[in-house]
Structure 1
Amino acid sequence: MNNWRIVTRSGLKLNIRAVTSDDDALLSDFFHHIRPEDLRFRFLSSINEVGAEQIRRMTHIDHKANETYVAFSEDDGVVVAVAALAGDEAKQKGEVAISVHADHHHQGIGWEMLTLLADQAAARGLKTIESIESRNNHEAIEVERNMGFAVSSYPGDNTLVLVSKQLS
């Protein structure tokens, strides 16, 4: 299993690894430290809590088409981010999603996690990564634009946008 040590632009040192089926409690605790609006943006619904079944779908995965990564602060071991990559059956596209701990915004964590997801998607042979975002999720859309993602209207729902990036 791969592990990564990454230093963000703010100097925060992260240890990142793929989740295991033993990480349900770890992720459950992490999602209690996500701002309510970030939960809404991540799950595109007005949930107050990430349920056990949603956690299970992140931790009990095949590790081939799908992967969930967990990032820990090297300083104190706190989980600061969870990022997911879900590949399609045709192995052409992957959907990405990232959640960052409420106390750790604006430290470059989202940028680094998205970079890792793009690298891992490319290593798996995926051609495109994309994310469906609330049009109101200005912070995430700005990060994605700065990383070269194209932003377009989401078909059939003017409250959403599709951000996508072609991988080389």
Structure 2
Amino acid sequence: MNKPIRRSDRQHTIKLPDGELFQLRYVRPDDGARLEEMFSHASPEDIHFRCLGAVHDFAGKMAEKFTSLDPETEAAIIATTLPESGPEEIFGIVHIAQEHADSETAEYDIMVRSDFKAHGLGYQLMTEILLCARRRGLKAVTGTISADNFKMLQMVAEHGFRSRRTEDNAVEVRVDFAELDARLEAELSGS
């Protein structure tokens, strides 16, 4: 059985390449209104990329989903403004979900506010959720990406994911931690 996530774990500050500071922490049940506000900034294109289609009441449904996670099978990390900078705002979220508590694989999903793209926040969130998956004892993380979401495909490739295009204009991606470790070790040893 994998280790459940305690929501108080791993709260820390990150610095983006442009100098912007954010706090990364696990989602709490009281984050609903802040999550709904973040999701209300989503462009139609981002909703399409996130859901591979349109969703009625996207902001409300996503906020409800992420504030009622099962800690045995799910974890979600958010990027928030620092507490000293005023009312807390959420700028991004990343989530993993296992099919059941004994699964060795989890599926990820991620979203950064549409008005705050290209700052490196998504990259930092992806790195953090992969570390979370490793701490849980998972062996792999998977995802499904729209084939025209080039920035996401590039980001997951940079994190070591392998990709396979499907017939329905989607790309299935997967990172196996043992395989990734072996590739990194080979690169470091010059093999």
- TM-score scaled by length of structure 2: 0.80
Count of aligned residue pairs for this structure pair: 166
Gap runs ≥5 in structure 2:
1-7, 179-191
Partner of 1:42: 50
Q: Which piece of structure 1 moves more, 14-23 or 109-118?
A: 14-23
Structure 2 residue 72 is matched with structure 1 residue 64: yes
In 1, Cα distance between equivalents of 2:103 and 2:19: 35
- 8 Å contact kept, 1:36–1:48: no
Which has the larger helix fraction? 2
Partner letter of residue 92 of structure 1? E
Quick one: percent identity of the two aligned structures? 23
Matched residue, 2:185 = none
1:84 corresponds to which of 81, 87, 95:
95
Give the number of the structure whose residues are more often strand, by fraction: 1
Matches of 1:108 and 1:53, distance apart in 2: 26
Q: Deviations over 1:65-100 (max 9, x none)?
A: 101221113356431101111123232111111111
Q: CA RMSD in A?
A: 1.7
Give, as a single letter, the amino acid of the residue that structure 1 aligns with 2:173.
V
**Partner residue in 1 for 2:160:** 148
Corresponding residue number in structure 1 for 2:39: 31
Measured after TM superposition, the shift of residue 51 of structure 1 is: 5.1
Q: Secondary structure at the match of 1:81?
A: strand
Please tell me the residue identity of whatever aligns with 1:135. Answer: A
- CA apart distance, 1:163: 1.0
Which aligned runs of 4 or more in structure 1 are off by greater than 6 angstroms?
Answer: none
AA in 2 matched with 1:163: V
Quote how far apart the aligned CAs of 1:48 are: 5.7
Q: Secondary structure at the match of 2:91?
A: strand
The answer to whether the 8 Å contact 2:39/2:59 transfers is no
Which deviations, in whole Å up to 9, do the C-alpha atoms of 1:11-43 show, x marking residues without a partner? 221101111222221111110112211111111
Trace 1:76-115 onto structure 2 (pairs within 5 A).
77-89=88-100, 90-115=102-127
Match 2:170 to one of 154, 160, 163: 160
Q: SS of the counterpart of 1:22? A: helix
